[in-house]
Structure 1
Amino acid sequence: MKNKYILLALAVSLVGCKKDFLDEQPKASLSSTDLNNLAAVEALVVAAYAPLGGQIDDANNAFNSPGTNWTFGDVVSDDAYKGGGGVGDQNGMHLMEIFLTNANIIDVERKWRACYEGIARTNRAIQAVNGFAGMSTAQRTVRLGELHLLRGHYYFDLKKIYNRIPWVDETPRAITEYDIPNNLTDAQLWKNIETDFLFAQASLPAKQADLGRVTKGAATAYLAKLYLYTKDYPKTIAAVDAVLAAGIYSLNANYHDNFDPTKEHSSESLFAIERAIRDGTPNNYRGSLDERLLNPGGPYYPLYGFDMPSQDLVNAFKTTATGLPQTDKSDVAATDFVDPRLDHAVGRPGIQFLDLAPYAATWARDPGTYGVFAFKKRMVSSRSTFYLNQFPWVSALNYDIIRLADVLLFKAEALVETGNLEGARAIVNQIRRRANTDQVLNANGTPAGNYKVAEYTAPWTDPATAREAVRTERRLEMALEGHRFFDLVRWGIADQVMNDHFAREKSRRTYLSTARFVKGTHEYFPIPQSQLNLSKGQLTQNPGY
C-alpha cells in the first residue's frame, strides 16, 4: 500500500552518523569508491529524509522523538493531556506535562538524536553530491536545495525545542572536531537556518516529478515561518505572498481532506512527512510510528490513548449564537453551538468517529485521570487499507509539516503586527469560511453536532482584539498538529496561559495540581544529559535545569 517515492529502507541501510556530541553509533560506512555511482549518491539524499518521522534506530518507539512534535507541542500545552494508562505510563512525558522535565528523560534525549541524525545525513549527502562528477549541474542544484531545506528543518526543530544548540555544517572534520559548543547567539542560529532556506528557495523547482521531494514552495513557506519567529513581519508577508504568487497552492475544499490518506499531496500541502505501510519495509516502520500511541481504544483500535485533547481545547471550539468563538472557557454542553473542526480533531462521546461508530466514553483508557476525549485528527479508519490493523498499529497518512492554512495564518499575524487589521480579518474569514463547509455527519447523513461558525463581519479596529482573534483562529485550525506550545512561547505568553490553565484544570485533573510553568526556564527543554557528558565540557545546559 502506498509505495511512494521515499524508499527509506534502502537508504537507511547505507548511512549512519558519528559525532562525539551524539550518542549514536554508525550503522555502516561508505568509502569514496562506494559513492562513485549516481545510485549511491541519490540514496544518500533519500536517506536524509528518513529522520523526519523520528525513526533513527529501527526501534518501535519513534513516539519518543516524534516528527509531529505531539509531545513537545501538544502535551505540554493547554491543548492536550499526556493520556495513556496513568501518570506512570511513559512517565517522562508526564514529567514534561507538569514541567518537571529533566535532562535524562528519553523523549528529550531521542528528539535531540533524531534531529542531529537528520543533520548528519544531510551533511554527508551534501559532501557526496558536491564530490560526485557524474551528476548534471541542474540535478546537483536541485539535490543540494533539498538537502539544505531538510537541514534547515532539523535545525529549526532543535532551535524551538532546545534553543541553545551546536551548529554543524558539511565541512569535513576529524572525529575530535565534533566537540562543538552551543554558544551561538539567537541571531547567529536563525541566520544560519535562514541561509539554508534561502539556498533551498533559490535551488528548488516549483514542482518535482517524485512525490515526497521538497520544493521551492516548501522553502519559501519555511522562510515565512522563520521570519514570523524572528518577528520580521514585512519579510513574513513577502514570503507568504511569494508562496501564493506561484499559483500552485490553495486551501482544500474540505477541512478533513488534510487528514484523508486518499487526498494527499494536495494543493494545501507544502511539506510533509511521507508515510507508507505494506511497502516491504520491515515491521512497517515507515508508517506513523511516531504516533502509534495515539490509537484511541474502543472496539476498533488498540488501547493506547495518548495525546488526549484537553477540556480547555474542547471548550475553545464553542461558538456564540452568531457563530463566533465563545471565549468564556465554559464547558461545552450538548445544546451549545460548536465549530465543526472540533469533531474533526477530537473524539467526543456521541459523535461519529470516522466511518466506524459514534465515539463512546468507554473507549477512553483512563478517564479518571485524563477524561473521556480522544485524539481523532490524524486517525485513519481501522477499516481503511491505509491503516495497519496489527502491530505496530500505524497508518500511511502523511503529516503536513507545513500546510497552506498554516502559512495564511502566518501572514494574518504579520498583518496585525504591521497595522493591516482588515487584511488579517480577510484571511481569518477565509479560514473560517472553509471550516463552515465541512461538517461531521452521522451515519444517516445528518450533522453529528450543533454546528455554527461564521465570519467576522464587523471591521477590526483594535490591534489587541485583532491579535487575539488571529491567535484563537490559529489554535482552532491547527489544533493537535504539534504547534500550540511553540506558538505560546514565541508570543511570550506561555507562562500566563499555562499557569492559568493549571489553575483551572487542577480541580478536574488532580495530577496537574502541582504543575507550574516557570518563566525563563520552561520555554525550552534541557540539553540531554548524555550529550553534556559526551561533549567534554563544550555544551552548556539551559537555564533552570
Structure 2
Amino acid sequence: MKKSIFLFFTFSVYSLLVGCLSACSGDFLDESPKGQISPDQMATEENIEKMIISAYQLLNGQMDNSSNAMNSPASNWSFGDVVSDDAYKGGGGTGDQAQIHRMELYQTDPTIVDVERKWSVLYEGIHRVNSALRLLNQVKDMEQTSKERRQGELFFLRGHYYFELKRLYNQIPYIDETVVEIDAFYVSNVVYGSEELWEKIALDFERASERLPVVQKEVGRPTETAALAYAAKVRLYQGKWNEVLQLSQRVLDSSFDLYEDFEGLFLPENDNNKEILFAVQHAINDGSFKNYNGSVGDRLAAPGGPFYPQYGFHRPSQNLVNAYKTDARGLPLGGNIDLTEEDYVDPRLDHTIGRPGIPYRDLGVVYQASWARDEATYGPYAPKKRIVSAKSPYYSKTWPYVSSLNYYVIRYAEVLLWRAEALVEVGDFTQAQALVNKIRNRAKNSSYVKKIAEAAFAANYKIEPYSQPWKTLDEAKNAVRLESRLELALEGERFFNLVRWEIAAEVINTQYLPKEKKKRNFLTNAYFQEGKNEYFPIPQRYIDGAGPIKIVQNPNY
C-alpha cells in the first residue's frame, strides 16, 4: 500500500527564496530591511528542507506548472524507447508531437523542444541541488547526523541528474556547488573528458552512500543501498566490470530482493516494495495543482478505448512483440518472426503490452485493435506495463489523466542484470546464468493473464530458465542482453543499453528497420547514423546563450 509518500511542492521553493534574497529596500538600516532576508536568516534547517524538497521536485520532469513534462519525461519513453526498436511515437499521426516523430526517424536537431526541455529540467535540478548544498554548509544549529544525511540526498540527486545528462548528451558542462557567480553558469562542455565526467558522477554516489542511512523514515528519499546501486550503474556504463561486481554484491547483501509477482510489481498499491531501490514518487488527489505530482510525463500513453482518453502515444513495436516468442522449451525463440495466436509466449508479454483479444487490466474487457489511435499508421498494440487500471483509485479520470504509479529509477532486477553482464565480461558464465534464471523463474512463477471469467490462460504462456550452460561469450552476452530487453521493456532503458553495448547502429539499421519499414510506412526515411545518433545534440539555445564560452556541438549535428 502507498503510505507516507514523500511529496513534491508544485512550485519552485528556490525561486521563492531567491526572490526574497533579491528584494530591495529604500532604507539601509542596521536591522534587516523589510522584505529582505539575510544569509544568516536563510541558513536555517526549515529553509534547507524546503530547498531540498525543491531539488527533488524536478525528478518527475515537471518544471513550470504546465503539462509539458510529456516533453521531458522522467521515464524517458521518448528518449529511451521511441528511438529504439521497442516502440513508436504513436498519437494522431506523424504530425502529432512532430518533433518526436523526427527523433524516431533519427532526424533530431538542436532546436527540438524535447531536447531543450529535458536539458533545462535536468540542469534546473542541478542548480537547486547546488544552491541547497551551499546553504546547508552555512547552517550552524543542525544536528550533524541529519546534516550529513541531507548532504547525502543532495549528492545522490545531483548524481542522478548528471547521469541522465551524460547518457543523453554525452559531452556536457559540469557545474558544482562552488559556482556562485551568475556568469559562471555558462561553462564550456569540453572542460572535462568523458571519463572525467563519469568519475565526477560516480563520486557523488560514493559521497551519498557514505552519508545515507540504510533505511529512510520517509519513502522517496534515497538510501545507502540505492546510492551503491546507482554507483554500480555508472561503472556499468564505464565498463568497469570488477567495480560493478563489488558494488552489486553489496546490493545483493541488502534487504532488497525481487518482488514475487511481475504484474503486481507495477501496481501502484505496491509502490516502494522490496524490489524498488529508488523511484520518482507520484501522487494524485493530494492538493497539487492539476495533479501535477502524478505521472504527468507519461500522460500521453493513455491507450484509448472505452476507459481512457485516446492519446495513444508510446506504442509497442511489432519487433518488441516478436521478441517475447518462446519455443517448446520455454526459451526465447528469436528470429523476429511475427507472433501468431498459436505461438508460445513469455508471460511478461501480456503484462507489458496491450494485445488484441487479451484482457486489459481488471477492466472486464479485452483490448481491441480499435482502441489504438491511428492503427493504420502505428499498428494495433498499446502500452500496458505502466498503465494503471481506469478502475483504480490511483488513476485520475479527469484531465490530465495521470496516475500515482511511481516511476522506478532502479529496481533489484536491473541490478541482477548488471551483475550478470559483468560476470559474463569476466568469464563467469555460470553465475551470470544463475542470475538470469532467477529473473526468468520470477516470471514463470508470477500470475498469468487469464481469459475473462475463465480459469484458462489468455495465451500459450511458456517460460523456463536456461538449463544448458552457456558455452561461448557471444551466447552468454546475447542471453543477458535479450533478458534485459524482455524484463525492462517500455521502461525507457532500451536505447541507452544499445548505445553502451555499441550495437545501436547494427540493431536498428539491420535487425529492426528493414522489416519494420514494410509494416510502418512512417519509418521509410528512418536511418541511424553511426557516430551521430548515439547521443542527442547540445541544445542550440545553450550554445547561443554561452556567448564567447566554448561550446562544442556533438558530432555531425
Decide: shared fold, TM above 0.5: yes
Percent of residue pairs identical: 46
Q: Secondary structure at the match of 1:401?
A: strand
- 1:45 and 2:52 are equivalent in the alignment: yes
**1:441 deviation in Å?**
2.0
**1:442 deviation in Å?**
2.4
Shift of the 502–46 alpha-carbon distance from structure 1 to 2, 3 Å rule, reads same
Shift of the 205–372 alpha-carbon distance from structure 1 to 2, 3 Å rule, reads same
**1:260 deviation in Å?**
0.6
**1:36 deviation in Å?**
3.7
CA contact (8 A) 2:43 2:138 kept: no
Note the 1:77-476 alignment, pairs <5 A. Answer: 77-183=84-190, 184-246=192-254, 248-356=255-363, 357-438=365-446, 439-444=448-453, 445-476=455-486
CA contact (8 A) 1:82 1:306 kept: yes
The residue number in structure 2 matching 1:499 is 509
CA contact (8 A) 1:13 1:27 kept: no
Give the number of equivalent residue pairs: 536
**1:80 deviation in Å?**
0.2
449-458 vs 170-179, which moves further: 170-179
The residue number in structure 2 matching 1:16 is 15
CA contact (8 A) 1:86 1:366 kept: yes
Q: Secondary structure at the match of 2:552?
A: coil
**1:179 deviation in Å?**
2.0
Q: Secondary structure at the match of 2:410?
A: strand
Shift of the 34–15 alpha-carbon distance from structure 1 to 2, 3 Å rule, reads farther
Shift of the 415–44 alpha-carbon distance from structure 1 to 2, 3 Å rule, reads same
**1:33 deviation in Å?**
4.9
Unaligned runs of 5+ in 2: 23-36
The residue number in structure 2 matching 1:6 is 6
CA contact (8 A) 2:211 2:224 kept: yes
Runs (4+) of structure 1 exceeding 3 A deviation are 1-5, 26-31
Letter in 1 for 2:230: Y
Letter in 1 for 2:268: P
CA contact (8 A) 1:4 1:212 kept: no
CA contact (8 A) 1:15 1:29 kept: no
CA contact (8 A) 2:43 2:136 kept: no
**1:17 deviation in Å?**
10
CA contact (8 A) 1:3 1:276 kept: no
- 1:486 and 2:486 are equivalent in the alignment: no
Shift of the 28–87 alpha-carbon distance from structure 1 to 2, 3 Å rule, reads farther
CA contact (8 A) 2:429 2:476 kept: yes
Separation of aligned partners in 1, 2:140 and 2:224: 25
Q: TM-score if structure 2 supplies the norm length?
A: 0.94
Separation of aligned partners in 1, 2:301 and 2:445: 27
Separation of aligned partners in 2, 1:470 and 1:229: 16
**1:508 deviation in Å?**
0.5
The residue number in structure 1 matching 2:552 is 540
Q: Secondary structure at the match of 2:157?
A: helix
Residues 241-280 of structure 1: CA distance to partner in whole angstroms, max 9, x if unpaired?
001112x101000011221111111110001000000001
Note the 1:22-61 alignment, pairs <5 A. Answer: 31=37, 32-61=39-68
Separation of aligned partners in 1, 2:281 and 2:379: 32
Q: Secondary structure at the match of 1:48?
A: helix
The residue number in structure 2 matching 1:514 is 525
CA contact (8 A) 1:3 1:279 kept: no
CA contact (8 A) 1:14 1:29 kept: no
Q: Secondary structure at the match of 2:314?
A: strand
CA contact (8 A) 1:349 1:359 kept: yes
Letter in 2 for 1:542: N
Q: Secondary structure at the match of 1:474?
A: helix
Separation of aligned partners in 1, 2:68 and 2:457: 38
Q: Secondary structure at the match of 1:131?
A: coil
CA contact (8 A) 1:65 1:107 kept: yes
**1:2 deviation in Å?**
5.8
**1:446 deviation in Å?**
2.5
Residues 132-152 of structure 1: CA distance to partner in whole angstroms, max 9, x if unpaired?
112111001100000001100
**1:460 deviation in Å?**
1.3
CA RMSD of superposed structures (Å): 1.5
453-462 vs 311-320, which moves further: 453-462
CA contact (8 A) 1:2 1:276 kept: no
Separation of aligned partners in 1, 2:403 and 2:149: 30
Separation of aligned partners in 2, 1:405 and 1:179: 39
Q: Secondary structure at the match of 1:102?
A: coil
Residues 317-353 of structure 1: CA distance to partner in whole angstroms, max 9, x if unpaired?
0000110001011000000000010001100001011
Q: TM-score if structure 1 supplies the norm length?
A: 0.96
